[in-house]
Amino acid sequence: MADIFRGQSVFRGESKVDVESALKNKIVGVYFSASWCPPCRQFTLRLKEIYEELEGDEFEVVFLPFDHSKEDAMTYYKCNHGNWLYMEYGEALIE
């Protein structure tokens, strides 16, 4: 899975992380979501609960935002998401 993200900027909170080491030997959930999508917001809450239960285990999430702006994406991430990885809004890989 790390091959897909090789060379990409991936973050956790405000910090850039080495994606290869962060995903090494882990099951990875690639999560496309947007704040304007009610089903996405509902699922995000459930995913956050599961992620917190499994944190430290062999599972990681990478959030790829489909919001309308960088500000919307970051507000959604900071207020509703777990402490998982994300790519910044507008990255070519997301499109």
Report the domain count for the chain: 1
pLDDT tens per residue, range 68-80: 999 999 999 999 9
CATH number at residue 61: 3.40.30.10
- Is 70 a domain residue? yes
- Is 94 a domain residue? no
pLDDT at residue 57 is higher than 80: no
**What's the pLDDT band for 67 if we cut at 50, 70, 90?**
very high
- Is 18 a domain residue? no
SS3 letters across 10-70: EEECCEEECHHHHHCCCEEEEEEECCCCHHHHHHHHHHHHHHHHHCCCCEEEEEEECCCCH
Name the residue range of residue 61's domain. Answer: 2-13+25-86
pLDDT > 70 in the chain, percent: 97
pLDDT, the chain, mean = 90
**The dihedral formed by the CA atoms of 19, 23, 28 and 31, expressed in degrees to the nearest 10:** -20
What pLDDT is attached to residue 1? Answer: 59
- Token pair belonging to 57: 């285990």
